[in-house]
């Protein structure tokens, strides 16, 4: 290596954290390589709309190389990172090794099945684009199967859907799915009585959206129930078998389809590094986002157990905003270190959280401001349209949202590809 | 069965022919069941734009049930029709049997590999939505592989693409693919020299678009060559192996990717019926579209060998217009037979043909009118926008076309799902 070689930063993951880091390194005297197993960046907050036949993949996913065109110093490599040799400073991938001087781990999170392989196999997640497409295919397929069957017991099972997990993902999916069923699909299947479709949202704590203010929890539950979702709180999923979803209180929900939104854990890459892991398998980091004893390795976003500022015991939550802000901080820290400056502690700025329950219904909690109903929904709409990148994407999404809102239409109700759980992650 | 039972018409296939037939039966005193292995109708003339990252599936595919909402007498069943018991008058499918009084076979065509299983396995078709998505994934994947490799021989192979078949499908794909490479992908891969990408169109006859007037053939070839496509006429594909595509004149095109547009044959359902088949395995029908000796069975579109009006030996070509017009005729014939009228002969009205080679270039042959270049392209644009169904679809397609035309942008260059040939048809 010549003395003139620029230091090389390898960023693992092109999600919110990895991209923010690459952007923060723009102009720094480094060579940046961003690696991801997909060639696209996903706007994950809208994946549930792919699963409910509202949006197409290209409306929530953008080619990574397109996003990098504005960052000429950043190279992209498609590859599945399988491990890191921390001593040799080499990232291993299914397509070859990548040496680094600085490493940023931003591989995100995967569904957490709490070690239950049966649940992993028999449920459908909402964590990736492939998972959301498979869930869309699976729910549409159930209605087609119901159209063939003459057996009322079988038909009832086909038209019962369980959603496990009352966090924002489960709540948003359940609300949008209820609207899909009672609006677009009700017209599709005049011979099926879709008023009898059961959508059951199962939440372990006392109410869905447990991280929101109690007032907003109640508003959200009322909105879901108004759309025909049955909310089962204080119940945990224990198994899935031929009969349906078994709960720990002994009850069974006779559902042919179980959507799994009960939680996520750090991507499996975190497990193989022999580094200390916190809850949800996240990698423990210093307040600077550096791995203890490895100052050249930083971890950001869902993959990192980032300490809270005021010594609170829990790490920062798994949110897009945490990923974006910590990714940006990591990029700035590396750029600063090239000028000999020592790294600063990361400070998270809470911009609030929101969750929608479908048309005209969302809850939003922004500092002291608490919105629900129509006002919350307008706030949700505005934030998401602004956050979506690009004029073309915004136009396409707005057209589809207008079709859904004004015509109760879901044009993307296509069964394309598999209805099986995609084979891209382990339980 | 009670005497009041309405006769049941089963239509196999929700393509252009099957849908036109269902529409023609609207209002007739029959029960209609339309069965297809997919829950969507595909606007096949634009599939090549899915394969070249211009359009999303939902822009070329519409849910069949949505199209049937205007036809309340028509029921849809998702199912793969595996055979027909012509004596018992029962259609067999993977999901159950369907009895009929009248049967319309409109299952369309599949890629013709002329019995060569190796070619079937190693090439990628453009006949279905899944095939077009797999082709898109495969070509994008090649560029990602090329970004990893240091070996110039391997890189050259990865960046050489063969398109077999110079009919409209092959020509349209090659032109749109050349634009994708030299515009959008050239910006994506600043480190690859994409001027060295080879796209070779292989055509067995003396020039591409052999069914068009010689003047238009020349215009089309010039347009393709101007976009960087190498046209190899008078050469036939004989094999595909590790080295690439073998031609019957001994030459080899060292391509890692072979797109197959060399011809189609009737869907395999046609083979199992013990009915007489013509060229391309199409089912022979009377001028009334009825199967000889089975007046209750009609065949339409690509699946039927429909005699030409003036005693010419060839059957009508495999075109969307033939499918639409013959499907409509079949529906009208069944409706007329219920009133005791004997079936009329089908008369095809030639509305012309067209093929585009990308931006500002298309050839169109409409009666005595022959257009090429910009004029042909405007005609192509107009016809396709009019033919696409629905305001929403038209808006979305126009936005994507505008992005491609004005910004040379291809927003759908996502690798989602498999890069393998989908397993939905046999060789």
* DSSP one-letter code for B315: B
Which residues of chain B make contact with A59, given a CB cutoff of 8 A?
56
> Residue B411 and residue A63: Cβ atoms within 8 Å?
yes
By the CB < 8 Å criterion, does A140 face chain B?
A: yes
Query: What is the spatial distance between Cα B164 and Cα B170, in angstroms, rounded to a whole number?
Result: 7
Distance from CA of A101 to the nearest CA of B (A): 19
Residue B116 tokens read as 């060569």
- Which residue, among B324, B329, B256, has the nearest Cα to B298 in the 3D structure? B329
> Residue B129 and residue A416: Cβ atoms within 8 Å?
yes
> What pLDDT, on a 0 to 100 scale, did the predictor assign at position B2?
45
Q: Which of residues 21-50 of B touch A (CB under 8 A)?
A: 38-40
By the CB < 8 Å criterion, does A417 face chain B?
A: yes
Tens of pLDDT along chain A (427 residues) come to: 445 789 999 999 999 999 999 999 999 999 999 999 999 999 999 999 999 999 999 999 999 999 999 999 999 999 999 999 999 999 999 999 999 999 999 999 999 999 999 999 999 999 999 999 999 999 999 999 999 999 999 999 999 999 999 999 999 999 999 999 999 999 999 999 999 999 999 999 999 999 999 999 999 999 999 999 999 999 999 999 999 999 999 999 999 999 999 999 999 999 999 999 999 999 999 999 999 999 999 999 999 999 987 778 889 999 999 999 999 999 999 999 999 999 999 999 999 999 999 989 999 999 999 999 999 999 999 999 989 878 888 988 999 898 888 888 888 899 987 666 665 443 3
A75 touches A32 (CB < 8 A): yes
> What pLDDT, on a 0 to 100 scale, did the predictor assign at position B3?
52
| Pairs of CB atoms within 8 A across A/B | 132
> What pLDDT, on a 0 to 100 scale, did the predictor assign at position A426?
37
B249 touches B269 (CB < 8 A): no
Distance from CA of A397 to the nearest CA of B (A): 10
Which residues of chain B make contact with A78, given a CB cutoff of 8 A?
141, 144, 147-148, 415
Q: Which of B65, B390, B414 is opposite residue A63, by nearest beta carbon?
A: B414
> Residue A78 and residue B147: Cβ atoms within 8 Å?
yes
Q: Which of residues 361-380 of B touch A (CB under 8 A)?
A: none
> Residue A188 and residue B399: Cβ atoms within 8 Å?
no
Tally the residues of chain A.
Answer: 427
> What pLDDT, on a 0 to 100 scale, did the predictor assign at position A334?
97
> What pLDDT, on a 0 to 100 scale, did the predictor assign at position B420?
64
Which residues of chain A make contact with B92, given a CB cutoff of 8 A?
none
> What pLDDT, on a 0 to 100 scale, did the predictor assign at position A102?
98
B106 to B30, B39, B331: CA distances (angstroms)? 18, 15, 12
Helix ranges (H only) for B149-272 are: 152-158, 168-179, 186-188, 214-226
Q: Which of residues 219-238 of A touch B (CB under 8 A)?
A: none
End-to-end CA distance of chain B: 42
Distance from CA of A236 to the nearest CA of B (A): 32
Q: Which of B76, B392, B411 is opposite residue A411, by nearest beta carbon?
A: B392
- Which residue, among A225, A229, A169, has the nearest Cα to A198 in the 3D structure? A229
Helix ranges (H only) for A166-283 are: 168-179, 186-188, 214-226
Query: Which of A32, A417, A423 is the best residue to mutate to test the B interface, defined by the most B CB atoms within 10 Å of its own CB?
Result: A417
> Residue A411 and residue B62: Cβ atoms within 8 Å?
yes
Q: What is the mean pLDDT of each run of 10 residues along chain B (427 residues)?
A: 78 98 96 97 96 94 94 96 98 97 98 94 95 96 96 97 97 97 95 95 96 96 97 96 95 97 96 96 97 97 92 89 98 95 94 93 94 94 89 88 87 79 48
Residue A228, helix vs strand vs coil: coil
Q: Which of residues 67-86 of A touch B (CB under 8 A)?
A: 69, 72, 75-79
> Residue B72 and residue A190: Cβ atoms within 8 Å?
yes
Residue B334 tokens read as 């069944």
Strand ranges inside A242-288, DSSP E:
244-247, 252-253, 257-260, 264-266, 283-284
Say whether the ipTM exceeds 0.90: yes
Distance from CA of B156 to the nearest CA of A (A): 18
By the CB < 8 Å criterion, does A95 face chain B?
A: yes
> Residue A75 and residue B416: Cβ atoms within 8 Å?
no
> Residue B69 and residue A130: Cβ atoms within 8 Å?
no
Q: Are strands A8-12 and A102-105 parallel, antiparallel or unpaired?
A: parallel
Residue B203, helix vs strand vs coil: strand
By the CB < 8 Å criterion, does A413 face chain B?
A: yes
> Residue B399 and residue A414: Cβ atoms within 8 Å?
no
Residues of A marked active site are found at: 172
Q: Which of B65, B187, B417 is opposite residue A417, by nearest beta carbon?
A: B417
By the CB < 8 Å criterion, does B2 face chain A?
A: no
Residue B295 tokens read as 């007046």
> Residue B147 and residue A76: Cβ atoms within 8 Å?
yes
Q: Which of B131, B172, B179, B183 is catalytic?
A: B172
> Residue B77 and residue A129: Cβ atoms within 8 Å?
no
Per-position DSSP letters for A346-364, written without gaps between them? P------EEEEEETTEEEE
Q: Name the pTM for this structure.
A: 0.94
- Which residue, among A236, A219, A259, A206, has the nearest Cα to A51 in the 3D structure? A259
> What pLDDT, on a 0 to 100 scale, did the predictor assign at position A63?
95
Which residues of chain A make contact with B56, given a CB cutoff of 8 A?
56-59
Q: Which of A75, A95, A399 is opposite residue B392, by nearest beta carbon?
A: A399
Residue A152, helix vs strand vs coil: helix
- Which residue, among A7, A11, A28, has the nearest Cα to A91 in the 3D structure? A11
Would you say the C-alpha torsion A271, A275, A281, A282 has a positive or negative sign?
A: negative
Distance from CA of B408 to the nearest CA of A (A): 12
> Residue B392 and residue A409: Cβ atoms within 8 Å?
yes
B142 touches B189 (CB < 8 A): no
> Residue A412 and residue B77: Cβ atoms within 8 Å?
no
> What pLDDT, on a 0 to 100 scale, did the predictor assign at position A16?
97
- Which residue, among A38, A106, A110, has the nearest Cα to A266 in the 3D structure? A110
Number of neighbours of residue A230 by Cβ within 10 angstroms: 15
* DSSP one-letter code for B179: H
Continuous segment of H or E residues that includes residue B118:
helix B117-122
> Residue B413 and residue A63: Cβ atoms within 8 Å?
yes
By the CB < 8 Å criterion, does A56 face chain B?
A: yes
What domains are defined for chain B? 8-37+79-111+265-338 (3.50.50.60), 117-262+359-407 (3.50.50.100)
B17 touches B112 (CB < 8 A): no
Q: Which of residues 173-202 of B touch A (CB under 8 A)?
A: 187-191
Residue B353, helix vs strand vs coil: strand
Helix ranges (H only) for A227-316 are: none
> What pLDDT, on a 0 to 100 scale, did the predictor assign at position B422?
63
Buried b (16+ CB within 10 A) or exposed e, B96-134: eebebbbbbbbbbbbbbbeebeebbebbbbbbbbbbbbb
Distance from CA of B40 to the nearest CA of A (A): 6
Distance from CA of B310 to the nearest CA of A (A): 42
> Residue A58 and residue B403: Cβ atoms within 8 Å?
no
A44 touches A55 (CB < 8 A): no
By the CB < 8 Å criterion, does A14 face chain B?
A: no
> Please, what is the Cα angle at A163 between A157 and A165, to 5 degrees?
150
Query: What is the spatial distance between Cα B208 and Cα B200, in angstroms, rounded to a whole number?
Result: 12
Q: At what angle do helices A391-407 and B391-407 cross, to 10 degrees?
A: 180
Q: Which of B39, B69, B418 is opposite residue A187, by nearest beta carbon?
A: B69
Number of neighbours of residue B423 by Cβ within 10 angstroms: 8
- Which residue, among A261, A225, A213, A227, has the nearest Cα to A44 in the 3D structure? A261
Distance from CA of A69 to the nearest CA of B (A): 7
């Amino acid at each position: 290596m010549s003395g003139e070689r620029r230091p090389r930063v390898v960023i693992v993951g092109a999600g919110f954290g990895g991209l923010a880091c690459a952007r923060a390194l723009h102009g720094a005297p480094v060579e940046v390589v961003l690696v991801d197993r997909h060639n696209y960046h996903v706007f994950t907050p809208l994946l549930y709309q792919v699963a409910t036949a509202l949006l197409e993949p290209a409306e929530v996913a953008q080619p990574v190389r397109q996003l990098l065109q504005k960052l000429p110093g950043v190279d992209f490599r498609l590859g599945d990172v399988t491990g890191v040799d921390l001593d040799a400073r080499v990232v291993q991938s299914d397509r070859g090794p990548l040496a680094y001087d600085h490493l940023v781990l931003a591989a995100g999170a995967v569904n957490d099945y709490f070690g239950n392989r049966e649940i992993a196999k028999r449920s459908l997640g909402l964590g990736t684009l492939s998972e959301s497409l498979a869930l869309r295919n699976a729910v549409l397929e159930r209605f087609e199967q119901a159209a063939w069957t003459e057996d009322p017991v079988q038909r009832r099972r086909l038209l019962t859907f369980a959603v496990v997990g009352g966090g924002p993902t489960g709540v948003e999916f359940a609300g949008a799915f209820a609207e899909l069923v009672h609006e677009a699909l009700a017209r599709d299947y005049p011979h099926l009585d879709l008023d009898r479709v059961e959508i059951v949202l199962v939440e372990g704590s006392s109410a869905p959206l447990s991280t929101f203010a109690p007032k907003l929890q109640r508003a959200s539950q009322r909105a879901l129930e108004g759309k025909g979702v049955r909310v089962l709180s204080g119940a945990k999923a224990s198994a899935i078998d031929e009969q349906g979803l078994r709960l720990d209180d002994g009850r069974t929900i006779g559902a042919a389809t179980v959507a799994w939104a009960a939680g996520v854990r750090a991507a499996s890459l975190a497990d193989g590094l022999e580094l200390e892991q916190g809850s949800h398998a996240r990698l423990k980091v210093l307040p600077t986002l550096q791995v203890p004893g490895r100052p050249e390795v930083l971890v950001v976003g869902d993959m990192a157990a980032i300490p809270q500022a005021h010594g609170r015991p829990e790490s920062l939550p798994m949110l897009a905003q945490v990923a974006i802000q910590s990714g940006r901080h990591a990029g700035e820290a590396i750029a600063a270190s090239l000028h000999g400056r020592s790294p600063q502690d990361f400070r998270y700025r809470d911009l609030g959280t929101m969750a929608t329950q479908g048309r005209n219904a969302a809850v939003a909690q922004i500092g002291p401001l608490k919105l629900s109903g129509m006002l919350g929904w307008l706030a949700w709409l505005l934030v998401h349209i602004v956050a979506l990148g690009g004029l073309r994407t915004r136009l396409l999404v707005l057209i589809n949202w207008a079709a859904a809102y004004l015509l109760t239409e879901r044009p993307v109700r296509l069964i394309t590809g598999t209805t099986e759980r995609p084979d891209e992650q382990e339980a």
